[in-house]
């Protein structure tokens, strides 16, 4: 087979290299087309079919509903691995052995101290501040307390890059738990037993420990949070990850790049959907529970309402993460003896949508955000913190993608455009100058 594609434009013919992914998909490389053709460019609004980079981290096949991290299936990782193992796998490429995992954990614990002045910043935020705005600002503020991270030339030292990574893995959970504690009026404390707790147990203890009370770990909550974080850990070149990579491509430091990723994740069409989903379930419940009415609204092109937690840019089949989360939501509610009417609303919406021609024709299925809020709610986490929990899970993925981009020495991200504005026109002054 010829290893090139040929593009014919207005009588001109251009040979373009044909690349192949390790899973066999073909990809036409167009980076030299402009030079070859004297100015032809390509456009793909919303990057619907454009690869922005080469990556060895995550593979997904949206038609078949396959998701793998570094070659391992998401189903296997979510049922057998710890979040920290998966984080190591994503960031460094291979599963850690026992010593490597222990070192990684210890280094993270070592770096999980946050400057006391950050507490003053948290205190200065109004009580109604959205936790995603707070988290993104605090992550950005960390650059001021970690000046080494600004525009680091990581090619100089892999050790510096490693240190920055463990700092982020250690400090972000502290920022998240403090954001949560501030909302609850709890003092901003660290976990007292960090070294004895695993990464996920430590997060739960930091979030939920009440002043002057011992915190007793609930294994159901630890297991389900571990699973949720793994399921959210990476998803190749989505909106927030592409943001992290493009910000980092200007040789911006890791903290600042991740802060930008948190802002991108916040939007309701991306990670912010988990909050919007739960609010939608509640609104339907309050409106009498008529799920068909909301299915009809979602189908009505005159109505801006969308069925939140449904549809995906890449999955045109059931999102494999949603399958696992749906089952986990059932188990958690059953084990904790919680009878939550929103689960019934969710199931009714899903059942109706999956039989409806509108959703079937457009291949719209529940995505990762459809059932996750049901679990967070059972854990006692308020809906405006759901996207923050997503960010906690996505952290190793963002770090892995940023590290890969820097190690591959990728050029600065700078798309072209199709200019549709005015051509040259004459300026008429209204000032006296």
Which residues carry out catalysis?
312, 369
Determine the interface stretch with ligand ACO among 109-117, 143-151, 176-184, 266-274 (rule: CB under 6 A): 266-274
User: With contact defined as beta carbons under 8 Å apart, do 112 and 190 qualify?
Assistant: yes
Query: Applying CB under 6 A, does 355 fall inside the site for ligand ACO?
Result: no
Query: Applying CB under 6 A, does 313 fall inside the site for ligand ACO?
Result: yes
Residues composing the chain: 433
Query: Applying CB under 6 A, does 118 fall inside the site for ligand ACO?
Result: no
Measure the CA–CA gap between 145 and 166, rounded to whole angstroms: 15
Measure the CA–CA gap between 228 and 180, rounded to whole angstroms: 18
Query: Applying CB under 6 A, does 326 fall inside the site for ligand ACO?
Result: no
Query: What are the start-end ranges of the E strands in 199-286?
Result: none
Minimum Å distance from CB 246 to ligand ACO? 17
Query: Applying CB under 6 A, does 9 fall inside the site for ligand ACO?
Result: no
Minimum Å distance from CB 131 to ligand ACO? 17
User: With contact defined as beta carbons under 8 Å apart, do 69 and 77 qualify?
Assistant: yes
Query: Applying CB under 6 A, does 269 fall inside the site for ligand ACO?
Result: yes
Query: Applying CB under 6 A, does 368 fall inside the site for ligand ACO?
Result: yes
Which residues in the 127-166 window bind ligand ACO by CB under 6 A?
Answer: none
Binding mask 398-427 for ligand ACO (x = CB under 6 A): ------------------------------
Which single residue brings its beta carbon nearest to ligand ACO?
311
Minimum Å distance from CB 224 to ligand ACO? 18
Strand partners, 69: 58, 72
Phi-psi region of 43 (alpha: psi -120 to 50; beta: other; left: phi over 0): beta
Query: Applying CB under 6 A, does 261 fall inside the site for ligand ACO?
Result: no
Minimum Å distance from CB 32 to ligand ACO? 29
The residue assigned the tokens 């948290």 is: 122
Measure the CA–CA gap between 80 and 69, rounded to whole angstroms: 14
Query: Applying CB under 6 A, does 236 fall inside the site for ligand ACO?
Result: no
Minimum Å distance from CB 364 to ligand ACO? 5
Measure the CA–CA gap between 61 and 361, rounded to whole angstroms: 19
CA atoms within 13 A on the CB side of 111: 21
Query: Applying CB under 6 A, does 367 fall inside the site for ligand ACO?
Result: yes
DSSP 3-state percent helix, strand, coil across the chain (nearest 5): 55, 5, 40
Contacts with ligand ACO by CB under 6 A lie at 46, 238, 269-271, 273, 298, 306-313, 362, 364, 367-369
């Amino acid at each position: 087979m010829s290893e090139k594609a040929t593009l014919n434009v207005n009588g001109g013919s251009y040979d373009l290299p044909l690349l192949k992914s390790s899973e066999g998909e073909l990809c036409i490389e167009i980076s030299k087309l402009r030079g070859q053709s004297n100015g032809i460019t390509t456009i793909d609004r919303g990057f619907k079919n454009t690869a922005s980079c080469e990556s060895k981290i995550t593979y997904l096949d949206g038609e078949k509903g396959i998701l793998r991290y570094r070659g391992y299936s998401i189903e296997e990782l979510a049922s057998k691995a710890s979040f920290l193992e998966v984080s190591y796998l994503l960031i460094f490429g291979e599963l850690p052995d026992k010593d490597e995992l222990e070192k990684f954990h210890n280094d993270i614990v070592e770096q999980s101290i946050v400057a006391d002045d950050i507490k003053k910043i948290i205190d200065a935020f109004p009580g109604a501040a959205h936790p995603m705005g707070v988290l993104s600002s605090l992550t950005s503020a960390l650059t001021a307390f970690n000046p080494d991270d600004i525009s680091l030339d990581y090619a100089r030292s892999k050790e510096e890059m490693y240190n920055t990574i463990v700092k982020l893995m250690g400090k972000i959970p502290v920022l998240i738990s403090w954001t949560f504690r501030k909302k609850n009026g709890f003092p901003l404390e660290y976990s007292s037993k960090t070294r004895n707790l695993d990464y996920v147990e430590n997060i739960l203890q930091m979030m939920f420990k009440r002043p002057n009370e011992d915190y007793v770990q609930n294994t159901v909550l630890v297991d389900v949070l571990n699973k949720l974080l793994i399921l959210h850990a990476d998803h190749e070149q989505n909106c927030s990850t592409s943001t992290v990579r493009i910000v980092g491509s200007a040789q911006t430091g890791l903290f600042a790049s991740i802060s930008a990723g948190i802002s991108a994740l916040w939007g309701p069409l991306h990670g912010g959907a988990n909050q919007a989903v739960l609010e939608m379930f509640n609104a339907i419940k309050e409106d009498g529970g008529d799920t068909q009415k909301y299915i009809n609204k979602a189908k009505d092109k005159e109505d801006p309402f969308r069925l939140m937690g449904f549809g995906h840019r890449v999955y045109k089949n059931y999102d494999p993460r949603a399958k696992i989360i749906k089952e986990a939501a059932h188990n958690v509610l059953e084990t904790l003896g919680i009878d939550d009417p929103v689960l019934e609303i969710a199931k009714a919406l899903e059942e109706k949508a999956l039989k409806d021609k509108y959703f079937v024709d457009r291949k719209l299925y529940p995505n990762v955000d459809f059932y996750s809020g049901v679990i967070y709610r059972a854990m006692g986490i308020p809906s405006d913190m759901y996207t923050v929990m997503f960010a906690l899970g996505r952290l190793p993925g963002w770090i892995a993608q940023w590290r890969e981009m820097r190690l591959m020495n990728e050029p600065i991200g700078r798309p072209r455009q199709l200019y549709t504005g005015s051509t040259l026109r004459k300026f008429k002054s209204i000032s006296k100058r």
